[in-house]
Amino acid sequence: MDKVEASRLPQSKSYLKILGISYLCKNSNTPISANVVEKIIKDNYIFNNIVITSRPRVIKISSKLDMAIIWLNIWDVQSKTKTRSFINHCFNVGSHIATIQGANMNPRVSQCKNC
């Protein structure tokens, strides 16, 4: 299927998460930002054919670990073929090996039960 045919297929959002990336930037104590994640994605060839629908979200795994979960929303065809091709794919980020996993809708700030 060529790009023109693929662009005509119905699109929907798919959700991915990336594990194995350090929460702190190398040689500093500043948390990794969405801008840094976007640069990592732009510079990595495996992400050449995806379109991100919103800024990546970075969440620290726990207070004791220096690792992050990166949540990505991408445009995909309704059959989820792009998403399935990324699942369990690994790539290098500095000295870390990151793994892409499928995800359900990404977590956001919970709304209180009174609203």
**In this predicted model, what pLDDT tens digit does every residue of 27-43 receive, in sequence order?**
788 999 999 999 988 88
Amino acid at 9: L
Does the pLDDT of residue 3 top 70, yes or no?
no
Cβ atoms of residues 94 and 49 within 8 Å: no
12: helix, coil or strand? strand
What was the pLDDT predicted at 27?
79
Q: How confident is the model at residue 1 (pLDDT cuts 50, 70, 90)?
A: very low
Whether the predicted model's global pTM rises above the 0.95 cut: no
Structure tokens at 104: 């359900």
CATH T-level fold of 9-102: Alpha-Beta Plaits (3.30.70)
> Residue 7's pLDDT band (boundaries 50, 70, 90)?
low
Tokens coding 97: 């090996």
- Single out the residue of 51, 59, 44 nearest to residue 83, CA to CA: 51
Mean of the per-residue pLDDT values of the chain: 81
Find the angle CA(22)-CA(111)-CA(80) to the nearest 5 degrees.
60
User: Residue ranges of the domains in the chain?
Assistant: 9-102
